[in-house]
Chains A and B, each alone.
Chain A
């Protein structure tokens, strides 16, 4: 089985891109499944189900979605093997812009959209910087110039990535993208023992443990202070 991790800011078009890409992969007779990670709510699993794709969803609730992801990824891989998938896709939203769910030696895709503003590539850090392929969406509604500027900013932040434009509505580019996802020589039976590409967002403070009161005396553990002094 091949494993591919998708990540990207909320509403950047991850699900639309994956659905169009799966269409192309299914035509090659491959069996694809998806596990969708989200925080509080998602009904994207319905969209996958409608497309005839085996799907599971995991909601992290009050936990950091990335920590939830990494604590469950091995079980997810085993689910994919049980379903005899050729390709297992995990989809997770980069909710805090510091997200980094990518695993070493596992293909990592970042989906980011043209509408999010030209400074976004700079803002989203490890999720973009450590991806193998960056997919840029919503290219049909912004000008050519903005597309070019946006793509060049992405390339500055992650010069090693392959940068592709895929249209999640029309599917333009999805076939081409799909050819990069599956490699018949790749076999993942387990991810136990593998490592993350970059550490997850970390915190261990009183608020992680349920503290709700505000004030210095209630702040324990890993606490960082904003600099408000005059420059």
Chain B
């Protein structure tokens, strides 16, 4: 391999200049670089036994690893080839081996699809099929197409870029960082150009979604449930590399769910949402009914259901207002008149 031999005889500075992202590679590999003007060959020749042990790889393996890293990063940065405009799910079988009750489901970017069905009905299997870009090689034998083509295998195997991002109920932040430090860290791993701007935008969007505001310097581990969820959604919408987002219920407390979905869809993502909440389910353009391991039906949200959603939102608002009144120490009164008043406006 030409590139490998070339790497061996290049100095660390030359390599970093040509491939700036290799700087963190050198650091994470723990190669003892005493002088960045030395070539890899020279550095290896001068390593002590302990330093050799630290870096694990010999010169050949190190150069292989470095060239793989460069290849990975070039793929990762070449975003253009990975726009997912359309995701298609071709029918497979349910748990009894019978063909699913549909032929092909096309989902376009910017669409919201709700997934409903009892626990254990096969919702996670559907998601797993999408994430694995199944080609008849999973228990359901479904096939996934992206932009009408059989997807590149890279979706299965690359570490940095996954097809599906997930937001579920019991996710938490575990790092000890402030909101801004955290967003910067994520942005750095994505190697984006306008980092400060993007970080600021996520921060503002997250606060727009959150019921209670939070500051830049707040520790992410100390945010409330609603604030955490808001930050996770804004961050996933704007900074996640995955074109498809799976949401497992969004709790009603402390976050504006409608704005959250608008934000996700506005970023040209495909949103799949497992939910039992009628308001959320009706926010979808379609809903998939899953039963016994298979897709039993696909229902387009009807005009009447959209109207019902308006009514549900009224109910939702009444409850939210009551919650706020409670929080600020007001006395609560009966709502029947109020309900009628809101509905008439």
Contacts and interface: CB of A to CB of B under 8 A. Distances in A.
Contact of A151 (B25, B50, B71, B160): B160
Nearest to A165: B162
A155 B159 contact: yes
B93 interface: no
Looking at chain A's contact residues, is the secondary structure mostly helix, strand, loop, or mixed? Answer: mixed
B172 A142 contact: yes
B136 interface: no
Interface stretch (B10-18, B37-45, B233-241, B312-320): B233-241
B138 interface: yes
A118 to B, nearest CB: 7
A144 interface: yes
Nearest to B54: A125
A170 B171 CA distance: 15
Interface in A62-121: 114-115, 117-118, 121
A149 B137 CA distance: 29
Contacts of A130: 56
Q: For the side of the interface on B, what is the size category?
A: 35 or more
A27 B139 CA distance: 10
B9 interface: no
A160 B172 contact: no
B168 A159 contact: no
A161 B69 CA distance: 10
A145 interface: yes
Contact of B175 (A134, A146, A151, A154): A146
Interface string B162-191: 100111101111110000001001100110
Contacts of B157: 162-164
B235 A176 contact: no
Contact of B159 (A117, A163, A198): A163
A118 B181 CA distance: 14
A118 B175 contact: yes
A155 B29 CA distance: 11
A39 interface: no
B69 A126 contact: no
A85 to B, nearest CB: 23
Contacts of A148: 160, 162, 165, 186, 189-190, 240-241
B24 A144 contact: no
19 contacts: A117-B175, A121-B28, A125-B56, A129-B57, A140-B168, A143-B173, A144-B232, A144-B236, A144-B242, A145-B236, A146-B174, A148-B160, A148-B240, A149-B185, A152-B159, A155-B72, A155-B160, A159-B66, A176-B128
Interface of B: 24-25, 28-30, 50, 53-54, 56-57, 64-66, 68-69, 71-72, 124, 127-128, 131-132, 137-139, 156-160, 162, 165-168, 170-175, 182, 185-186, 189-190, 228, 232, 235-236, 239-242
